[in-house]
Structure 1
């Protein structure tokens, strides 16, 4: 497991694939078999995102524990919103507010993730 926590490559791969699967499942027609399968695969990637994020958190949180904790919490909330959008959409309920919150939390999570010192440091000079 140390190989997965030594770089951010696996974590970035899992959240990119997870977001793509989420968006594909969100635009598919309700009640179709393909949507259920895509949703289940997205759930698998949610778990992989959380595991790889937790490994990175435990390895690197000593550098800036508060910021890593905030990023972990935002990531957890982002995944929760992704799941709520899909489940409420399947039930035919309104999801507009959840979509807005999802994009806000997603952008905040990505910004903090790129701000942190490991991985791609696009915002390290801010």
Structure 2
């Protein structure tokens, strides 16, 4: 499971998922894109769990737990946004929550020892 606990793999899956999310928001019937995005949700969760387990070695388990929770909330809000859009209901609140939780996860990811240290 060591090959899954790589920050670059996790960041790559997030970037691809965000691109697919915005593509799915932009097109009228995003069924295929939405299914591919769900596959990337699974890849994000698997690599995130591997990083969470590896992060326990750094002695900051609570912050890694908060980052894990923020990541799960981002995925949940992304899914809810696309489902609301597909049903023709207002989805602006969920879109705002996607950005809020994403910024929280991004901040924690850069702040923690395994992340890229942009905030130093």
* Structures share fold, TM-score greater than 0.5: yes
- The equivalences for 1:1-126 within 5 A come to 1-5=1-5, 7-29=6-28, 32=29, 35-63=30-58, 64-123=60-119, 125=120
CA contact (8 A) 1:85 1:98 kept: yes
Q: Deviation digits for residues 39-96 of structure 1, max 9, x if unmatched? A: 0000000000000000000111242011000000000000000000000100001001
User: Displaced runs of 4+ in structure 1, greater than 2 A?
Assistant: none
Task: Give the total of aligned pairs.
Answer: 119
CA-atom RMSD in angstroms = 0.9
